[in-house]
Amino acid sequence: MICALLFAATAINYIDRQMIGVLKPTLQGEFGWTERDFAHIIFWFQLAYAIGYLGFGKIVDAFGARAGYAIAILVWTISHMAHGLASSIITFAMARFGLGIGESGNFPAGIKAVTDWFPQRERAYAIGLFNAGANVGAIVTPLLVPFLVLTFNWRVAFYITGVFGILWLVAWLAIYRHPGQHPRVGADELAYIQQDAADPVEPMPWAKVATIRETWAYALGKFFIDPIWWFFLFWLPGYLFERYHLDLKTFGLPLAAIYLISDFGSIAGGWMSSRLIASGRTPNFARKATMFVCACCVLPIFFAQGITSVWGAVGVIGLATAAHQAFSANLYAIPSDMFPRSAVGSVVGIGGTVGAIGGMGMALFTGYILDSTGDNYSILFGIAGSAYFVALLAVHLLSPRLARVDAG
């Protein structure tokens, strides 16, 4: 039930997040945006995401997943619906900024809930399951949004999809509790959830968390891979439009297929490392071996620009996005491997902020490259193909053993 709630929230998060990418050709046609104009709108979302991640990391550690998630989805749903009132680059940027603040709470709260509800050996699998909601959201968006736009208009599409967040918030407040306070959790189940060694009672100060090498092992991993996911999320719809001459009616199925493939990657990546741990391997070996396999699976993206078949491109890009999600599920599990529960939200918050800073740079760079090269994506796909090896190297150099951090 907990995984289902987190899965649903993440799906809604990605519907709201991806709509600007799906509507990019429509909005560019109506408002005359250049690639750099679009990049600046994305930049403000990611700036807010960077700021919000730090704040929500502390909110989640201080008040718990229940309150943290409720605040996050309330802020992002209001901001998402505000897109329907936007009429200029400035007002779209303002709506995206609010959306970024709210959506930054999704993963700190979700990982905190997983840390509270699952023993260590099951966390990567649980994160993979709820992280698969991102791909479901990304699948639903290109199928649902064109229908809403063609039936009503793009403004109404923002209002209708905003209702999903309101319904989820009602369910979350009604159902979610910490396992120690949940009326449906018995003594045996609670003992199973809490089977790992007890964490220190005293919380770890944020200032100390920020000075630990293991924090930056996670954060640099995020810095290198998050911009690639943002690139896929926001520019892939436009790429399919331009490269394969698709339109609002025809691009939805190929895009949905890419994220359907991604869903399998998210679950498989979490399953693989959890399976290795269950067979006796250390978390260090399990996480890094899985991430290395994922990095190898991204390599064919180097050749994506030269593929003339739309479905051939779907296969190569889908493999890359699936590998990203599998890599990400294991990277997200690393803070709970190394840090006490009281510090997980702060570590995830720092990592999310650093990843968003990387995404800000990638957004501006992407707009510059596409305007300068006449929408040639070869350089961008080349960066995507190498980023995961760099991220894994950074994680390994800063934390060779993924050892538990001394909270003293």
pLDDT digits (tens, 9 = 90+) for 137-150: 988 999 999 999 99
Instruction: Report whether pLDDT(115) > 90.
Output: no
DSSP one-letter string for 134-149: HHHHHHHHHHHHHHHH
Question: What's the pLDDT score for residue 198?
Answer: 64
Average pLDDT, the chain: 90
Q: Which two tokens stand for residue 79?
A: 């901001």
Q: What's the rounded mean pLDDT across residues 114-124? A: 84
Q: What's the rounded mean pLDDT across residues 158-181? A: 93
Q: Is residue 404 part of a domain?
A: no
C-beta separation of 270 from 122 below 8 A: no
Q: Taking the chain, what is the end-to-end CA distance rounded to the nearest angstrom?
A: 35
DSSP-H helix ranges across 251-377: 252-278, 283-298, 310-338, 341-373
Strand, coil or helix: what is 33?
Answer: coil
* Helical (H) or strand (E) element with 43: helix 35-82
Q: Which residue has the higher pLDDT, 375 or 401?
A: 401
Q: Is residue 198 part of a domain?
A: no
pTM above 0.75, yes or no: yes
CA distances (Å), origin 1, targets 5, 60, 336:
6, 20, 21
Strand, coil or helix: what is 74?
Answer: helix
Confidence class of residue 199 from pLDDT cuts 50, 70 and 90?
low
The share of the chain scoring above pLDDT 90, in percent, equals 63
Q: What's the rounded mean pLDDT across residues 179-198? A: 80
Nearest to 78 by CA among 92, 98, 48: 98
Question: What's the pLDDT score for residue 189?
Answer: 83
Place of tokens 């901001």: 79
Instruction: Report whether pLDDT(202) > 80.
Output: no
Confidence class of residue 392 from pLDDT cuts 50, 70 and 90?
very high
C-beta separation of 45 from 21 below 8 A: no
Q: Is residue 176 part of a domain?
A: yes
Nearest to 58 by CA among 359, 348, 404: 348
C-beta separation of 77 from 390 below 8 A: no
Instruction: Report whether pLDDT(35) > 90.
Output: yes
Task: State the amino acid at position 62 in one-letter form.
Answer: A
CA 326 to chain centre: 12
Under 8 Å CB-to-CB from 314, ≥6 apart: which residues? 254, 257, 258, 261
Place of tokens 């939200």: 345
Question: What's the pLDDT score for residue 201?
Answer: 54
Q: Is residue 37 part of a domain?
A: yes
Neighbours of 249 (CB within 10 A): 10
Question: What's the pLDDT score for residue 130?
Answer: 86
Question: What's the pLDDT score for residue 83?
Answer: 97
Q: Is residue 407 part of a domain?
A: no
C-beta separation of 355 from 46 below 8 A: no
Q: Which residue has the higher pLDDT, 283 or 206?
A: 283
Neighbours of 121 (CB within 10 A): 17
Helix, strand and coil percent figures for the chain, each rounded to 5: 85, 0, 15
Q: Is residue 202 part of a domain?
A: no
Instruction: Report whether pLDDT(203) > 70.
Output: no
Counting the structural domains of the chain, the total is 1
Q: What is the pLDDT of residues 77-93, one digit of tens each?
A: 999 999 999 999 999 99
Question: What's the pLDDT score for residue 370?
Answer: 94
Q: Which two tokens stand for residue 385?
A: 């193909």
The overall longest dimension of the chain from CA atoms, in Å, is 63
Domain that holds residue 28: 2-193+211-396
Question: What's the pLDDT score for residue 374?
Answer: 86
Instruction: Report whether pLDDT(396) > 80.
Output: yes
The CATH number given to whatever domain includes residue 247 is 1.20.1250.20
Instruction: Report whether pLDDT(36) > 90.
Output: yes
* Helical (H) or strand (E) element with 10: helix 2-22
Cα separation, 7 vs 182, whole angstroms: 20
For residues 87-107, b (16+ Cβ closer than 10 Å) or e, as one string?
Answer: eeeeebbbbbbbbbbbbbbbb
Q: Is residue 66 part of a domain?
A: yes
Confidence class of residue 375 from pLDDT cuts 50, 70 and 90?
confident
Q: Is residue 277 part of a domain?
A: yes
